[in-house]
Structure 1
Amino acid sequence: MTAGSAAKTVKAETGNWFKGPVANLTPLDRARARRELSEIASAAEDEGFPRVAELLAGKSKLASFLEAVFDLSSFMRDCARKRPDILDALFDQTIDERLISIRASIAAAARAEDVSEKTLMMALRKLKLEAHFLIALADLAVEADTATTVRRLSDLADACTSAAVDFLLREAHFQGKLKLTDPENPSEGSGWILLGMGKLGAHELNFSSDIDLVVFFEPEAPAVIDPLDASELFARLTRRLVRILQDRTEHGYVFRTDLRLRPDPGSTPLAIPVQAALLYYESRGQNWERAAMIKARPVAGDLKAGAAFLRELQPYVWRKYMDYAAIADVHSIKRQIHAHKGHGEIAVKGHNVKLGRGGIREIEFFVQTQQLIAGGRFPELRGRETVPMLGQLAARGWITAEARDALTLQYWFLRRVEHAIQMVADEQSHTLPEDNEGLERIAHMLGFADAEAFSKEFRASLQQVEQHYAALFETAPELSSGIGNLVFTGDVDDPDTLQTLHRLGFERPSDICRVIRTWHFGRYRATQSAEARERLTELTPALLEAFGKTRRADEALLRFNDFLAGLPAGIQLFSLLQSNPALLKLLATIMGAAPRLAGIITRRPHVFDGLLDPALLSELPDRAYLAGRLAAFLEAAKTYEETLDRLRIFAAEQKFLIGVRLLAGSIDAGRAGKAFSDLADLTIGAALDAVIEEFSSRHGKVKGGKTAILGMGKLGSRELTAGSDVDLILLYDHDADAEESDGEKPLAPSHYYTRLTQRLIAAVSAPTAEGVLYELDLRLRPSGNKGPVATYIDAFRKYQRGEAWIWEHMALTRARAVAGDETLCYAAEAEVAEIIALPRDAAKVAKEAGDMRKMIEEEKPPRDLWDIKLIPGGLIDLEFIAQVAVLTGQAEAGERTTGTGEILARLAPGFADAQVRQELGEAFSLYVSLTQMIRLCLTGHFERQDVPPGLSDMLLAITDLPDFGVLEAHVRETSQRVRKHFDLLLRAKRK
């Protein structure tokens, strides 16, 4: 290296890159990292950036840091490869100086002489990408602390939103639709108000965050020409604003934009007149909207009008008196937060850093709750930002200095973890990876030696947060006071007890008194001993409080009563519930919100034993975990009948425990679908093994005989729910010269496998004292119900290649071998892959899929919006899009997958652009989350007017939405978007 080049490298390290030494990050794979760095250096050289090339080819500390960054983050690596100019700029400016320049360029882009919507979109995307990269680089280098990172991200969002708004206002002015007072300062006096909500409003945006906006307008603003046209004009401008910011182009996107926090989003326009908004908040506004307005901030448009609007809202947001009743309501609405008290260790893999136990949302809500209580009297408690408000709460004595320091430390630690998750691939995720390499990657990005060291600190952080959060609600005055008289002796109802029960939320207090007296009379086995009755008496107040909070208190307690009636003994359970409030809360949630799970507990009280395992919520129910548990459980089975009974017991208990994990938030809907599917694979496979052994003891074996089960439908795509039937096809093979089996009662091969399959159907579906294992559906086999129940592999091959309908091949895209002989399973999957890959007329496939969807709609119309599978733009539309894409070769190459969500993510760019892929993927995720929870909790249809409030709470928790009206509007908008994509994609395929 020449002296000059060495000097340049030193300049790169000590000049304008970072203010101090960079973090010492290590790559996951050093050899791979070096290759990647060399490729980026070559790209920089080719693009004409020799300073970057020389830096990356050298051996400096800065080069080592970048080597690690590019190995750990595919987003950073791809960005550096495509845009070496971003790195080159850092030889001349610090990151902070460059970010200031970028924000200035963003503002200038909106005022360029020849600017158009298209050129602005391109400029914003390029500048945002550069800023995003630099903010991440500074964060990973620990050059910027997390408080600086979130402020930079928020400032970037403000700048992009303001630029888009200014462009639209100027264009409207030049087209004569508005008359701006100063076109050089277009927002001033425009009357267009854009409030940033949530993390944007608080200057706390995360790395891959959506931005939440609420849009209002002042019809009498100086710039408005005709107040009567203003509503339509500002709604149209807002729609275009969202498109400018959100639509994915070849240059990416700026910010995903969410307008769902506006008043009554299901029935209001995107921009709402100020007076109508004020009237809404003052007359119909809900407590979650009060809480949301704490963080509201004018971020773009007419900032003076926005500030005036918020001043008008102050009496609504900040009550003069300590409003504990309102806080209790906010608490019930913010149902994504659970004040756990250590029920089981927290799983690190798959943990949601935002919404999970001990997560970011608990700290935010910890602060927000007390702000709502006291902010009316103490203006200094009205701030938007979380950490400064912790300081103010401590200064005024609302929390201890210890709570302030602990929660501040953990808040910024958890925000760093959240950023690391998102910086890997610039994805809006808050969930830690479930695989070892993914977790190791996050640990390295945060500067930990390994995943174990990170996991230890992460668990400690979550536990500290949840302890402070739980303590908050223990000490809240409204919640800690005595609950009043509870007297259940004698035959006459105590009047004060009836009042207490009514206050707790029971609508039929007299009936409840009668039920509780039944417990004390010892009429159930669980309450026959004096000690059991004594423990239950001590537990009763806590039980009644817990059931009262379900908002269907009477139903919850009556379900618990049914459960109690079936218990063989009660002392252990009552003692456990008394010492473990988290378990009591979970039981109350099941009884109040999940009639289906409550029914399982009532019919099979032994499944409750699984809840006693302290590791329940920290163990992921993956295939290996379930297989190990199943093998141990079947070990003691001596007979065929006992094996089948044990399979039913095991499946019922594990379905219940998977459901409890979903209910408690320790796994998400996608993981639950995989767990339910793995459980079906394993138990049906074990049933098949038992049937083959039992059947062959009488009929012997067919020479070279093999069986394989293809899982179809939701089993094949690993998307089973708690209540799913199971779609199967049973295939068999044997030697060509096999004529009959070799047993005591020989059978011809076709007859043998037909009888074997019938025996399997009975083994799985026939009701016994232990219930049914699964309801089986074999209608997807060749020729449907008219064909034999077992299919010879050659006949399957011939039928699928010569006689099958398009819809049968669509169904085959989800086929997966789930059990049986390994070689036949492999052959069957290979055959399925070949059939799917056969050349097809894409237009014909699209037409038939469209015709079939139309026929389904006519023959089986959806009941209502909540018939998520059947609504136009619902699950079936998404499944059909994925299946058509696979059959017509419009999914990107890779390892074959049967999962609808995975296929939608891999739709070929020529078939669906990045924006469409993202929207379809988000819709699928939403539908699966809702469907999994609804199927878990209910046995029948989802009746909107009769849904248990606790279930409504959980649906809002998993979608992170504040109100059921907002959720319904979101489902409606999502389905409309999916139907639009369905029509466009299939119509395009027909051409």
Structure 2
Amino acid sequence: MSGLEATAVAAALGRARAYAPYLRRLAARETAVAAALDAGDIAAALASCDEPLPEGATVAAQLRAEKRRLALAVAVGDLSGAMGLEEVTRRLSRFADDALGRAIEAAIRERTPEAVPAGFVALALGKQGSRELNYSSDIDPILLFDPETLPRRPREEPVEAAVRIARRVVEIMQAIDGDGYVFRIDLRLRPSPEATPLALPVSAAISYYESSALPWERAAFIRARAASGDIALGERFLAEIRPFVWRRALDFGALREIRALSRRIRGHYEAGQRFGLGYDLKRGRGGIREIEFFAQIHQLIHGGRDPALRVPATLDALAALQAAGLIAPGEAAALSEAYRLYRTIEHRLQMVEDQQTHSLPRDPAALDNVARLDDRADGAALLDALRPHVEMVGALYDALDPPEDGRLPQDRDALVAVLGEAGFADAGAIAQRIIGWRGGGARALRSPAAQDALEAVLPHLVAALGRAPDPAVAFNRFDDVVARLPSAINLFRLLEARPSLAALVGDVLSLAPTLADMLGRRPELIDGLIDASALDAPPDVAALARRFGGTGDEDYQSLLDRVRREVGELRFAEGVQIVSGARDPLAVAGGYARIAEGALEALAAATVQAFEQAHGRIPEGELLILALGRFGGAALTHASDLDLVYLFTGDHLAESDGPKPLGATHYFNRLAQRITAALSVPTAAGPLYDIDTRLRPSGHQGLLAVSLDSFARYQREGAWTWEHMALARARVVFGSAAGRAALETIIGDTLAAPRDIPALLADAVKMRGDIARHKPPIGPLDVKLMDGGLIDLEFVVHVTQLRYRAGFDPRLPEAIGALVSAGLLPHRSMAAHDLLTRLLVALRLISPRAEQPSPAARDALVRACGMADWPALLAALEEARQSVRLAWAGIVAQAGER
């Protein structure tokens, strides 16, 4: 080494001590290396890197020592100019290969000391694969093994052995102690890292890359090589998947994916895109990644036909592309110059504190420090040196993007602008989601066909969701839908073909979390909205029961699954009718009830038939089902459960006549259990209804099914006042005409019987007080439980019915109409019922927790209730509550008088 070079080395060591605390600490510790550098002798410094530790030192300790020495020697060689970029990165990469190989050998020998280390290989990807490692880089290997040759302990499965070896390798390499560490290891480049073991069988990896890999993984394998361990095994694997990486046919889908990856990086690291303080040399616009991708895009296009282009290192790739006439000489030279400068400054950033950083400091003083480490005057001089290269690289890379053809722009800033114009207040966040979609972040968006469908629908989708009442909420919920889809192609093609449907979906997603959740679980529900008849009222119960009952050519389980699917579709459509303003919530409540009753008839009939095949029939006996509550009143909400009472006719001492006979009581209780399960147990198609049978005689302590005689006797002798109030909304929903008539006679006689009026009033007031204490309103808009709400109105109606033995009808509007006509309730009771019920039905979809709605949700509620605006709706609600309060207060006062 000349005296001039020696002086440069010594000066570089001085800068290292002055501006790089990490190097200063290394120089103080590794005195032999520092002495050689002080003398200006790089060769001697490098030679001392491999000096062994005292006998007995572990492999990990030896590797840490070698890494410290190499880090100091290479840093000063780099800073002094004695080593060019290629030599620096080559030495770092060679040490990474060697260290990883020694760690693999140690991990195998620790477990199987007598075995020959084989059957386990580390593939180097990224900059290790191309021998371009950063000064303070992590490494990204893929660990593979051969189950046939991997050494393992007796009775140990190959996968178990390989995973344990992999864990030990990672521990040796990256565990930190007082001596530092060797390399950080990132194993996330392996196939499906969220679901696969740390080390994969070679055969499984081959299968993945031949069938399921993403385009970006092709680009990653441009720089892959067998680096450590069983090299022959790794090379055989790479030979097997070579057709996956290097395809003879042009693959523009892969090219779009590589460009999309660059855009996602730009979007994700938005803060580092703008040149200046904080600029990200690696991920920023016009930075290292874009030079790498510029080369890789050309390699992917042409490398399948020209093996000379299959070179891993970026500088070599640029030279090869120039030699092949694929990029202009000026471009290759300019990109190479920029790449060398970026990588050099990147190393300076990392030398300061051995951090895996690529961003210029945001603090001007810290940038000055980096500049002086690089022997520049200050940070401003460093920025001046970088700026023209950043602008040139960014312009060259941007030129690779084809015209958009009317689709949403790929550039993040342009995309944000389009989203803002479309109506999204937080356009940046929405752009980030779209960038994630384009990157295949969701399973349903990983194929080229799905990406094409996505790009085609995005303009329609953004326009529709941007016009939604709450664009951000709509978009976020649609994102949830996409995340759950196994494939998005059909959905996107459908929305592309039906822009009006996309608008309707936007309304649903932004306004109705309940429906959005359904859509997230079953995206195919959108299909049911294609036909305009989806917004019509459902048919009558008999037609629904026939539809749900099917043709009799399916087994019982298939019937349960199909009914759940069809009911879900109809209930979803009913909810959409409210959200879209197509129908009055009062009418929708009736539709919900008809759907439930049709499903009950079909499933109960099928269950009875299946039960009779095993147990026969009870002579002159049958099961009857009585609906109470909202179901009895034929007005359900989307969230309503079904209040059922099971009864049976015939002799309770009789026995069934089937192959497995049962006594009547046991028979009908078993049958009732089966029907409850048919209506409530989730199947592969999801849930149906929650069933509540606590209104049966004696409540949860009583039999599930009782005879008509027992039921009549209980109602005459043992029922509480609240049970007779509940009976005022009882409606028979299953049974023969004769059975229904018999049960209706019992109900009519019970309700018309004379009663103790003071006891009725006192019991009702006490019961309402108990409900108020134990079930307070869940939110400010809980129109059911709030003071003056639906519960109060129902109490007023049922007390009045029982007191005057008038107005009995299970449907509340008819009952209220009769009582108003008889002068027993004020005229305002009907208006109060209608408004409160409309609100209840709509709120169950729009604000399930009865919370204060968003402005968009307020508009939907206003529309559902037929009001002019939100203040008008609140005023009408207060008027309705006041009329109910007055009516209930009159009953409370009368109870107190008595």
TM-score, normalised to structure 1, is 0.47
Once the two structures are superposed, residues 541-593 of structure 1 have per-residue CA deviations (whole angstroms, 9 ceiling, x without a partner) of 33223222335323311221232344455555434433433322110001111
- Deviation at residue 976 of structure 1 after TM alignment: 2.2
Which residue of 702, 705, 718 maps to 1:803? 718
* 1:934 has 2:843 as partner: yes
Query: Which residue of structure 2 aligns with residue 767 of structure 1?
Result: 682
* 1:701 has 2:617 as partner: yes
8 Å CA contact 1:782, 1:796 repeated in 2: yes
- Deviation at residue 717 of structure 1 after TM alignment: 0.4
Which residue of 474, 481, 485 maps to 1:563? 481
8 Å CA contact 2:511, 2:856 repeated in 1: yes
Query: Which residue of structure 1 aligns with residue 415 of structure 2?
Result: 497
- Deviation at residue 525 of structure 1 after TM alignment: 6.7
Q: Distance in 1 between matches of 2:470 and 2:537?
A: 31
Q: Secondary structure at the match of 1:705?
A: coil
Structure 2: unaligned runs, 5 residues or longer: 1-404
Q: Distance in 2 between matches of 1:605 and 1:636?
A: 28
Q: CA RMSD in A?
A: 2.8
Once the two structures are superposed, residues 19-38 of structure 1 have per-residue CA deviations (whole angstroms, 9 ceiling, x without a partner) of xxxxxxxxxxxxxxxxxxxx
Query: Which residue of structure 2 aligns with residue 691 of structure 1?
Result: 607
Matches within 5 A, 1:395-544: 487=408, 489=410, 494-521=412-439, 527=445, 533-544=451-462
Change (3 A) 1:562 1:488: farther
Q: Distance in 2 between matches of 1:966 and 1:750?
A: 56
Q: Counterpart of 2:710 in structure 1: which amino acid? A: A
Matches within 5 A, 1:335-346: none
Matches within 5 A, 1:324-339: none
- Deviation at residue 639 of structure 1 after TM alignment: 1.4
* 1:647 has 2:647 as partner: no
Q: Distance in 2 between matches of 1:538 and 1:642?
A: 37
Query: Which residue of structure 2 aligns with residue 658 of structure 1?
Result: 574
8 Å CA contact 1:649, 1:770 repeated in 2: yes
Q: Which has the higher contact order (CA 8 A, sep 6+)?
A: 1
8 Å CA contact 1:485, 1:497 repeated in 2: no
Q: Secondary structure at the match of 1:742?
A: coil
Q: Secondary structure at the match of 1:740?
A: coil
Structure 1: unaligned runs, 5 residues or longer: 1-483
Change (3 A) 1:611 1:693: same
* 1:586 has 2:504 as partner: yes
- Deviation at residue 887 of structure 1 after TM alignment: 1.4
**Higher alpha-carbon deviation: 755-764 or 505-514:** 505-514
8 Å CA contact 1:620, 1:667 repeated in 2: no
Once the two structures are superposed, residues 679-704 of structure 1 have per-residue CA deviations (whole angstroms, 9 ceiling, x without a partner) of 11111222212222222222222222
Q: Distance in 1 between matches of 2:654 and 2:408?
A: 78
Q: Counterpart of 2:570 in structure 1: which amino acid? A: Q
Which residue of 894, 898, 901 maps to 2:813? 901
Query: Which residue of structure 2 aligns with residue 397 of structure 1?
Result: none
8 Å CA contact 1:730, 1:789 repeated in 2: yes
Q: Secondary structure at the match of 2:643?
A: strand
8 Å CA contact 2:545, 2:602 repeated in 1: no
Query: Which residue of structure 2 aligns with residue 9 of structure 1?
Result: none
Q: Distance in 1 between matches of 2:657 and 2:545?
A: 32
Which residue of 527, 531, 556 maps to 1:609? 527
Once the two structures are superposed, residues 619-674 of structure 1 have per-residue CA deviations (whole angstroms, 9 ceiling, x without a partner) of 5544355335324xx22652111111112112111111121222223321221111
8 Å CA contact 1:488, 1:516 repeated in 2: no
Which stretches of structure 1, 4 residues or more, deviate above 6 A after TM superposition?
A: none
Q: Counterpart of 1:862 in structure 2: which amino acid? A: P
Which residue of 857, 863, 870 maps to 1:957? 863
8 Å CA contact 2:656, 2:662 repeated in 1: yes
Change (3 A) 1:661 1:521: same
Q: Distance in 2 between matches of 1:744 and 1:831?
A: 34
Once the two structures are superposed, residues 487-545 of structure 1 have per-residue CA deviations (whole angstroms, 9 ceiling, x without a partner) of 553xxx62232244245443543442232234334565755665654453243233223
Query: Which residue of structure 1 aligns with residue 700 of structure 2?
Result: 785
Q: Distance in 1 between matches of 2:588 and 2:869?
A: 24
Q: Distance in 2 between matches of 1:827 and 1:563?
A: 49
Query: Which residue of structure 2 aligns with residue 977 of structure 1?
Result: 883
- Deviation at residue 767 of structure 1 after TM alignment: 2.1
Query: Which residue of structure 2 aligns with residue 680 of structure 1?
Result: 596
Q: Distance in 2 between matches of 1:909 and 1:644?
A: 45
Q: Distance in 2 between matches of 1:582 and 1:897?
A: 42
Q: Distance in 2 between matches of 1:612 and 1:845?
A: 53
Q: Distance in 2 between matches of 1:615 and 1:622?
A: 15
Q: Counterpart of 2:617 in structure 1: which amino acid? A: K
* 1:877 has 2:877 as partner: no
Q: Secondary structure at the match of 1:907?
A: helix
8 Å CA contact 1:505, 1:551 repeated in 2: no
Matches within 5 A, 1:356-375: none
Q: Secondary structure at the match of 2:424?
A: coil
Q: Distance in 1 between matches of 2:850 and 2:467?
A: 22
- Deviation at residue 879 of structure 1 after TM alignment: 0.6
8 Å CA contact 2:407, 2:455 repeated in 1: no
- Deviation at residue 827 of structure 1 after TM alignment: 1.0
Once the two structures are superposed, residues 315-343 of structure 1 have per-residue CA deviations (whole angstroms, 9 ceiling, x without a partner) of xxxxxxxxxxxxxxxxxxxxxxxxxxxxx
Which residue of 865, 877, 894 maps to 2:780? 865
8 Å CA contact 1:525, 1:569 repeated in 2: yes
Q: Counterpart of 1:941 in structure 2: which amino acid? A: R
Q: Secondary structure at the match of 1:550?
A: coil
Which residue of 514, 532, 536 maps to 1:596? 514
Query: Which residue of structure 2 aligns with residue 480 of structure 1?
Result: none
Matches within 5 A, 1:916-931: 916-917=826-827, 919-931=828-840
Q: Counterpart of 1:912 in structure 2: which amino acid? A: L
Q: Distance in 1 between matches of 2:551 and 2:739?
A: 27
Q: Please say which structure displays the higher CA radius of gyration.
A: 2
- Deviation at residue 485 of structure 1 after TM alignment: 11
Q: Secondary structure at the match of 2:644?
A: strand
Which residue of 732, 748, 753 maps to 2:648? 732
8 Å CA contact 2:655, 2:662 repeated in 1: yes
* 1:968 has 2:874 as partner: yes
Q: Distance in 2 between matches of 1:784 and 1:690?
A: 27
Change (3 A) 1:775 1:620: closer
Query: Which residue of structure 1 aligns with residue 851 of structure 2?
Result: 943
TM-score, normalised to structure 2, is 0.52
Q: Distance in 2 between matches of 1:568 and 1:751?
A: 45
Query: Which residue of structure 1 aligns with residue 635 of structure 2?
Result: 719
Q: Secondary structure at the match of 2:627?
A: strand
- Deviation at residue 711 of structure 1 after TM alignment: 0.3
Query: Which residue of structure 2 aligns with residue 302 of structure 1?
Result: none
8 Å CA contact 1:890, 1:911 repeated in 2: no
Q: Secondary structure at the match of 1:983?
A: helix
Identity of aligned residues (%): 35
Q: Secondary structure at the match of 1:720?
A: coil
Query: Which residue of structure 1 aligns with residue 729 of structure 2?
Result: 814
Q: Distance in 2 between matches of 1:656 and 1:881?
A: 33
**Higher alpha-carbon deviation: 545-554 or 922-931:** 545-554
